[in-house]
Amino acid sequence: MQEMATHAIEFRDVSYGIDGTQVLSNLSLQVARGETLVLLGRSGSGKTTTLKLVNRLVSPTSGEVRVNGESNEKADVIRLRRHIGYVIQEVGLFPHFTVERNIRLVPQIEGWPEERIQSRVQELMQLVGLGTELAKRYPHQLSGGQRQRVGVARALAADPEILLMDEPFGALDPLTRDELQREFLSLQQRLHKTVVFVTHDLREALRLGSRIALMEAGKLVTVLAPSEFLKSEDPWAAAYVRAFGNGTESLQKRGTT
Amino acid sequence: MNVVRFMLHNHTQVLELTLEHLWLVGLSTAFAMLIGIPLGIVIAHRPGLNRPVLTSANIIQTIPSLALFGFLLPVPWLGARSDRLAILALTLYALLPIIRNTFTGIRGVDPAVMEAGRGMGLTESQLLFQVELPLAVSVILSGVRVALVISVGLATIAAAIGAGGLGEFIFRGLAMVDNRVILAGAIPAAILALIADTGVGWLERLLRAR
Amino acid sequence: MRKTSCGLMIVATAALLVSCSPSHTNRIVVGSKNFTESFILGELIAQQIETHTNLKVERRFYLAGSYICQQAILAGRIDIYPEYTGTALTAILKQPASNDRAEVYQRVKSEYERRFALTLGPAFGFNDTFAMEIRGEDARKLNIRTLSQAAQFTPQWRAGFGYEFMERPDGYRGLVATYGLRFAERPRIMDLGLLARALKDHQIDFAGGNATDGLIPALDLFALEDDRQYFPPYEAVAVIREQMVQQHPEVAKTLAELGGSISDQEMQKLNYAVDGLHRDTQDVVREFLREKGLAP
């Protein structure tokens, strides 16, 4: 019987160590298509490394990572990355490119026809809530929130199935963060991307994730749906819930568009 | 204003020596860029190499220029023509500022930008030509500017071994004990250095990354 | 758009700088070394060309030595400069010296033509070799003309030489060996310019100078004859770029007229006029050419 590749992303007993430190140990995890999997943990838990294993910015020391059924090891890394969107906390917009040029970069190097690129850029700017007058501006002329919107637009430009986000709203003020979280939810409802989202903020995890994978010291502790997380008896999960106070308000925010 | 009259009277020679000087400086700086910029890129990407390369370039700089001209003289093909030798020596002296600034410029690119670029699927060469170099160009040019100004000065010493250029006026003037001749060499050389400095400086500001 | 035009500008400037390689067309550039005699000869060549051809002459005098002049002429920065056959043979061609004037001239000429695409004009006529000088009064009193004759008197004399003469293989050591000379004490080493004065003032009795020193006639000094032909010949000749001669054959023709036109004594007089009397070189040369019937 043929094994059907139903998982968008799969970690098979993955470990990663560098310079004598074991960063990840025996990670086994599956991410289903269309779900938003949140990697929750504190600094040093290995959540960012786990994320980077997906687009092979990091390679495992043992074990295997599969994307859409294909092992990362064998895949062409450039092709892999061009079909995965990547958003980081510092955004990393190219400072010498306009907003427009930043967004159109991947479609452009993929050789899309000019008209298609232009309409896509317009479409994306609308999607992430950026006025088209900002197209010719440079990153240093934008606010933090606007920059991250461009970051998201840029990541979505070539219409990837998978989106990797590493604490994307962490550097923003609470109001903007709230706004962007809301818009993320509405975007997800529309686009149904497979998202792996890294955060250390439980409230964000409860609000955005379809499942929460809790990590501690390089190990996967538990994977739970948000509602289960709050009730969990797992010591780490419980510690998290305690640290963040009552999480129910975040849970209530889930349905809000 | 004796000097001005002298220079006007001998304007063909002033022009000719200036062109010779530009030839020495231009060619050597071009070579230094062709060698130094790629080398700077390599060591920026491979941290292990940066010390040996930068140290070597540094050592070359500490050799007094006249001495370097002098002990390259017996080298076969090179020493047969002093302008060849001078161009080699000038190229060597121009290497350090260019390599070092290329290294600094590329290392100075925001790592977040590089990470985002790599994560997006840009190849190493796309990253280099579309991201790193455009962002580093202002710093690299600043190294070229330093190299040019140093070269204009060093090229005057090259006349001591017969490579021509404005230094020849200076040495001849010294032998004749004639200040006008000395200045006829020193003034254009200083002007050339100023032009190089302001010209490239203007270019740097123009291309400075936002 | 701005970046492209910037890029174009940079490329254009670079191309301009790189294309500045030296070359010149309807001018003849005459070089000379940085001492009076060379300067006079350079001016002589320059005026001769100016008078007898339509060509413009550019002067690039006071170049610091044979190596610099050689580099300049090889690179085409100068077209002609005055050199000495002996110097060309030993310093540039790096071959051992010989004493045969004609042989040295021929060897230098053929080597220069073969290796450097340079040729030689005819010798100007004087031999600026080393000259061992004594006071005129001593020469007359003792009735000596040659170095061999002087050898019997040198043990009573003090000698003075320039630093270079002491160091060169074809200098002091060879001289003493060839003529069996001994002096009263160790020779004094002093600046060339001071030798003649020191001799005149009886501080020394025997000086190693140059045959065409302007001060020889002026201070009544006598140059002893090198009867054993120890010193190699240093005949002054014009070194010329062959390519220039091909383009302007009239230059070779007019320089040929200067062949053999200056004797040792005449060169001494010219040197003295500039060094001793501080006259203007251009005037001195113009006068000389007029006297020789080579200029109006």
Identify the CATH number of the domain in which residue C253 sits. 3.40.190.10
- On whether both C9 and C123 belong to a single domain, the answer is yes
pLDDT tens, position by position, B49-79: 989 999 999 999 999 998 998 888 888 888 8
End-to-end CA distance of chain A: 43
Q: Which chains touch C (3 or more CB pairs under 8 A)?
A: B
* Whether B22 contacts chain C with CB within 8 A: yes
Q: Please give the average per-residue pLDDT across A211-239, as a whole number.
A: 93
Q: How confident is the model at residue C20 (pLDDT cuts 50, 70, 90)?
A: low
Question: Which residues sit opposite A84 in a β-bridge?
Answer: A162
Compute the distance between CA of residue B56 and CA of residue A36 in angstroms, rounded to an integer.
53
Q: Please give the average per-residue pLDDT across C141-170, as a whole number.
A: 89
Compute the distance between CA of residue B104 and CA of residue B59 in angstroms, rounded to an integer.
19
- On whether both C16 and C36 belong to a single domain, the answer is yes
**Which 3 state secondary structure label does DSSP give A10?**
strand
Compute the distance between CA of residue A205 and CA of residue A253 in angstroms, rounded to an integer.
12
- On whether both C63 and C195 belong to a single domain, the answer is no
Q: Do A95 and B210 touch (CB under 8 A)?
A: yes
- On whether both C7 and C64 belong to a single domain, the answer is yes
pLDDT of res. C187: 93
- On whether both C29 and C99 belong to a single domain, the answer is yes
Asked if pLDDT for residue A74 goes beyond 70, the answer is yes
In a domain, C202, yes or no: yes
Looking at this protein, which amino acid is placed at residue B98?
I
* Whether C75 contacts chain B with CB within 8 A: yes
Asked if pLDDT for residue C12 goes beyond 90, the answer is no
pLDDT tens, position by position, A133-168: 999 999 999 999 999 999 999 999 999 999 999 999
Q: Which domain holds residue C177?
A: 130-224
Tokens of A153: 């637009």
Q: In the block, which residue shows the tokens 């998982």?
A: A7
End-to-end CA distance of chain B: 46
| Top-confidence residue, A67 or C64 | A67
Q: How confident is the model at residue C1 (pLDDT cuts 50, 70, 90)?
A: very low
Residues 44-83 of B with CB under 8 A from C: 81-83
Q: Which of C182, C200, C224 is the last residue of a domain?
A: C224
**Nearest chain B residue to C22, by CA:** B20
Asked if pLDDT for residue A3 goes beyond 60, the answer is no
Q: How confident is the model at residue A247 (pLDDT cuts 50, 70, 90)?
A: low
Smallest Cβ–Cβ distance between B16 and the set C24, C34, C63 belongs to: C24
Give B208's DSSP letter. -
In a domain, A256, yes or no: no
- Structural domain tally of chain C? 2
Q: Do C68 and B206 touch (CB under 8 A)?
A: no
**Which 3 state secondary structure label does DSSP give A6?**
coil
- On whether both C96 and C239 belong to a single domain, the answer is yes
In a domain, A239, yes or no: yes
Q: How confident is the model at residue A256 (pLDDT cuts 50, 70, 90)?
A: very low
Asked which of A4-18, A24-38, A73-87, C99-113 is least confident by mean pLDDT, the reply is A4-18
pLDDT of res. C155: 94
pLDDT of res. C130: 87
Long-range contacts of C48-51 (CB under 8 A, 24+ apart): C48/C254, C48/C255, C48/C257, C48/C258, C48/C289, C48/C294, C48/C295, C49/C251, C49/C254, C49/C255, C51/C289, C51/C294, C51/C295, C51/C296
What is the residue-wise DSSP string for A85-132? EEEETT----TTS-HHHHHHHHHHHTT--HHHHHHHHHHHHHHTT--G
In a domain, A1, yes or no: no
pLDDT tens, position by position, C251-290: 999 999 999 999 998 999 999 999 888 899 999 999 999 9
- On whether both C140 and C21 belong to a single domain, the answer is no
Q: Which of C166, C200, C224 is the last residue of a domain?
A: C224
pLDDT of res. C33: 92
pLDDT of res. A1: 41
CATH of the domain at A216: 3.40.50.300
In a domain, A81, yes or no: yes
Smallest Cβ–Cβ distance between B112 and the set A90, A140, A164 belongs to: A90
Q: Are strands A211-216 and A219-224 parallel, antiparallel or unpaired?
A: antiparallel
In a domain, A2, yes or no: no
- On whether both C37 and C172 belong to a single domain, the answer is no
Residue A147's nearest CA partner among A196, A75, A95, A197 is A95
Compute the distance between CA of residue B103 and CA of residue B82 in angstroms, rounded to an integer.
32
In a domain, C139, yes or no: yes
Asked if pLDDT for residue C213 goes beyond 90, the answer is no
What is the residue-wise DSSP string for C133-165? EEEHHHHHHHT--BHHHHTTTGGG--EEE-HHH
In a domain, C296, yes or no: no
pLDDT tens, position by position, C228-246: 888 889 999 999 999 999 9
- Structural domain tally of chain A? 1
Asked if pLDDT for residue C23 goes beyond 60, the answer is no
Q: How confident is the model at residue C18 (pLDDT cuts 50, 70, 90)?
A: low
- On whether both C239 and C116 belong to a single domain, the answer is yes
- On whether both C47 and C171 belong to a single domain, the answer is no
In a domain, C268, yes or no: yes
pLDDT of res. A204: 94
* Whether A105 contacts chain B with CB within 8 A: yes
CATH of the domain at C151: 3.40.190.120
pLDDT tens, position by position, B114-162: 999 999 999 999 999 999 999 999 999 999 999 999 999 999 999 988 8
